Amino acid sequence: MKKTINEFLSCNGNGIFWILGFLFFLVLIFSTDTFSYMKNDSFKEGMLAEIHGILIEVILIVWLFKWITNKKEEKKWKPTRLIVARHICRNHQAIFNSIKFTLDPHYHTNLKGHGLPPNTTQKQADAWGRQHQVNHLSSRFNELKKMIEYNNVALDSSIQPDVITYIVEGQAVIHNLEWIYQAYADKHNRNYFGSFNIKGIEQMDIIYKKMLEKYPEILELEPISNGPLITVEEIIKLFDESNKFCSFLELRKV
């Protein structure tokens, strides 16, 4: 019975429109004196009042039914959606931590540490440090995309647009970071000019905060390492400092 009602109401939205259409048709008939006995004012007013009452009740019942159904669906798919949201937040923390060290022109790798050869220059050491900040991002992000692909059936309109947006913007930001690392690793002292996806970073941060708001338990499941997460404002400041102090690298905002 439940399945039959659900199919009737949700089949391309036609069920509810048939009900409402029929009731509106009755209202029209009684409002235009289609039949002779409808010219009796008391009869017509009574019928119109009944139909209006039924119309309101049907709307309320359908709204309540849909609300209950949505709540059940949300409860059913919450564990899966939480897994996806958790993976997004995990990647977000990794990407933003990498941005902090990769973009900062004042971040220098210790020449005496990490077993670097004696003749290593500071730029080469900085490239080595940035490589370690960036290399793990692509594999993490591929895991996220696989997770989304496997659980796509659980992603409804309340979360899917944000998930897709995060995938697109996050991939672009990772490519930006890989390109910055290449600029530091260049052995021919060439100048590098390119773009940095600031708007994408802003979108990623908004989505990250929405995920934490929707699933606050993520902060316990995925505690932030390396201190507080860098903010978008701090990233923009590092962007400006990179253009000011990094002579071989010039970035523009997109």
Predicted pLDDT at 9:
47
Cα 254 from Cα 243, distance rounded (Å): 15
Among 17-21, 38-42, 96-100, 152-156, name the one with the lowest average pLDDT.
38-42
Q: Collapse the DSSP code of 251 into the 3-class scheme (helix H, G, I; strand E, B; otherwise coil) and give the result.
A: strand
> Is residue 183 within 8 Å of 124, Cβ to Cβ?
no
What tokens does 186 get?
């260049």
The pLDDT tens digits for 69-121 are: 666 666 666 888 899 999 999 999 999 999 999 999 999 999 988 889 988 99
Inter-CA distances, 90 with 41, 67, 137, 177, 222, Å: 69, 32, 11, 18, 6
What tokens does 65 get?
């039914």
Paired residues of 192 in beta bridges = 249
**What are the DSSP calls for 177-244, one per residue?**
HHHHHHHHH-SS---EEEEE-HHHHHHHHHHHHHHHHH-TTHHHHSPPPSSSPPPHHHHHHHHHHHHH
- pLDDT category at 231 given cuts 50, 70, 90 is very high
Is a pLDDT exceeding 60 seen at residue 187?
yes
What tokens does 45 get?
């007013």
> Is residue 127 within 8 Å of 181, Cβ to Cβ?
yes
Is the backbone of residue 232 left (phi > 0), alpha (psi -120 to 50) or beta?
Answer: alpha
> Is residue 224 within 8 Å of 89, Cβ to Cβ?
no
Task: Write out the E strands in 30-163.
Answer: none
Among 22-31, 73-82, 84-93, 152-161, name the one with the lowest average pLDDT.
22-31
Cα 86 from Cα 82, distance rounded (Å): 6
201 CB-near residues (< 8 Å, 6+ apart): 99, 169, 173, 232, 235
Residue reference for tokens 């995060």: 166
Cα 21 from Cα 19, distance rounded (Å): 5
90 CB-near residues (< 8 Å, 6+ apart): 140, 144, 222
Question: pTM score, two decimals?
Answer: 0.73
Is a pLDDT exceeding 90 seen at residue 211?
yes
End-to-end CA distance of the chain: 54
Q: Collapse the DSSP code of 249 into the 3-class scheme (helix H, G, I; strand E, B; otherwise coil) and give the result.
A: strand
